[in-house]
Amino acid sequence: MRGMRILTRLCAVIAVLLGVLLALASCVMPAQEPLRTQPAFQPGSSAAQPQPTEAMFLPFIRRVDDPTIMTPTPDAVRELPGLRTEEDYYVVQVGDTLGNVARRYGVSLSALIERNELTNPDLLSVGQELVIPVPEPGGRGPGFKVIPDSELVYGPNSADFDIEGFVEAQDGYLARYHDDVEGQTLSGAEVVERVANEFSVNPRLLLAVLEYQSGWLRQSNPDKDTLDQPLGNRDYWRKGLYLQLAWAANNLNRGFYQWRVNAVGSWVLTDGMTVPIDPTINAGTAGVQSYYALLYDRPGWEQAVTQNGLFAVYASLFGYPFDYTVEPLMPEAFTQPPMQLPFEDETEWSFTGGPHGGWGDGSAWAGLDFAPPGEPMGCVVSEAWVAAVADGLVVRSENGSVVQDLDGDGIEQTGWTVLYLHIDQYQRVQEGTYLRAGERLGHPSCEGGYSTGTHLHLARRYNGEWIPADQAAWSFVLDGWSSTGTGVEYDGFLTRDDGQSIEAWNGRFDVNQISRP
């Protein structure tokens, strides 16, 4: 009640100050519950222990035409990777696809096919040498900011967003849609929620992207061409909302996290044009620009990433996006809470995967993989137990995933969380269980996500953002072992201060064995 009285008085003051201008507008209280803000972390202080978040009320969410809105301040200019001016060469490795090679070098798939005179681009041989053509740049992309960083991740200001209620209120095709996902029948809202949880992408953004591309949210009878592939990806096997939305979330993440580490300087559009990126955009906008580069030529892309594109659709659904801003999303002084290795004492596991995607290949390289002892390689449910790395409440336990909240508020979108993936449903810990560090939470398997063999995938998030394990400043620290990367996904080391070092190997070898001290 006290918050409502403050809100009422504030509206009255604004009305007096703005007079006639506000005769056509109103103070809008969003339907969400109070925002929880993150605790501050300082190295070497008691605040390094996770602390419960504090509650406060959300700001006013204004209409995009509100006269009080000011243009978001450009970010500080970044030093971006320059475009190549000479041809390069690449030797095909196991698991490569032509599309991945093209994306890595910032050239169009068609240009790569043409330069190498490939008659069947689906057939590559390990050891085959590809000539990488010089990109042909167009004019610099727009500096218009589409969304704040906190509206790309599934973070604090989206924690209380009622996905199902919002979808039903729009009363469009999505409200009556159902999809079969891994043997489960999910409603449209449940698909959105699952993708948001898995990829840690804001459900408001996912709904706005879906509405911009297909009109599913507000139209009862959207275009027939959108019914199988509503997000615009035309891969013949990627049909249905879940596969389409997962693809969109993965690529929204890709641009966001590449921008975070200055790993990208241009986008390649569908017409083959290479567009240098404006260095003053933010990571959230980079995610949107990167995603739409996969769908449009230059005119369509410019439309999608400027004021009359996704921004306008988002604003019409949810209000001015920058009113949801949470800054800083990540604390300036970063200190990981104490964590231990994710298995029991007196057991020896294999360190099988260095830093790689937290979920999918578009997120930060937040994940590390460990395989249990005593089992043949392949997909079997292990008898070994995965153990909690820290104290915390289990806030989600489903579809092979266990998510543990470490800051005491019981909310997955705020503060520190840990993802344990590929946990078999047999004896898996239930949601609502409070675990102490070292207590059992389930058995490793292949359940959930993508896996070619029984193992545990472990990853961290803070305020919904995946925390990279391949950079010294953000190192994953487990019982004194610190993670580092080599620049190659899945390759990396765990190193201790005493000089001990273990390299990740895909399999069980003497050199990648690790146990609790």
Q: What is the DSSP string of 82-138?
A: PPP-S-EEEE--TT--HHHHHHHHT--HHHHHHHHT-S-TT---TT-EEEEPPP-B-
Q: How confident is the model at residue 54 (pLDDT cuts 50, 70, 90)?
A: very low
Residues of the chain above pLDDT 70, percent: 88
Q: Do residues 241 and 196 make contact, with C-beta atoms less than 8 angstroms apart?
A: no
- Position 58 scores a pLDDT of 53
Q: Do residues 370 and 385 make contact, with C-beta atoms less than 8 angstroms apart?
A: no
Q: Do residues 231 and 210 make contact, with C-beta atoms less than 8 angstroms apart?
A: yes
Mean pLDDT of the region 34-46? 32
- For residue 352, pLDDT over 70 is answered with yes
Question: What are 448-494's pLDDT values in tens digits?
Answer: 988 888 999 999 999 999 999 998 889 999 999 999 999 999 999 99
Query: How many C-beta neighbours within 10 Å does residue 235 have?
Result: 10
Q: How confident is the model at residue 60 (pLDDT cuts 50, 70, 90)?
A: low
Query: For residue 328, is the peptide bond before it cis, meaning its omega torsion is within 30 degrees of 0?
Result: yes
Is this structure's pTM higher than 0.75? yes
Q: How confident is the model at residue 20 (pLDDT cuts 50, 70, 90)?
A: very low
- 196 or 380, which is more confident: 196
Cα separation, 142 vs 305, in Å, equals: 8
Query: Which residues, including other chains, have CB under 8 Å from residue 395's CB and lie 6 or more apart?
Result: 403, 404, 405, 410, 411, 412, 417, 431
C-alpha distance from residue 485 to each of 27, 57, 262, 365, 516 (Å): 49, 40, 16, 9, 22
- 37 or 271, which is more confident: 271
Please give the structure tokens belonging to residue 483. Answer: 């993670």
Mean pLDDT of the region 53-82? 70
Cα separation, 406 vs 224, in Å, equals: 45
Q: List, in order of start, the domains of the chain with CATH numbers.
A: 88-132 (3.10.350.10), 142-324 (1.10.530), 349-514 (2.70.70.10)
SS3 249: helix
Question: What are 496-508's pLDDT values in tens digits?
Answer: 999 999 999 999 9
Question: What are 415-451's pLDDT values in tens digits?
Answer: 999 999 999 999 999 999 999 999 999 999 999 988 8
10-38 exposure pattern, b = at least 16 Cβ within 10 A, e = fewer: ebeebeeeeeeebeebeeeebebeebbbb
The DSSP 8-state label assigned to residue 504 in this structure reads -
Question: What are 293-330's pLDDT values in tens digits?
Answer: 999 999 999 999 999 999 999 999 999 999 999 988 98
Helix axes 283-293, 241-260, angle to 10 degrees: 130
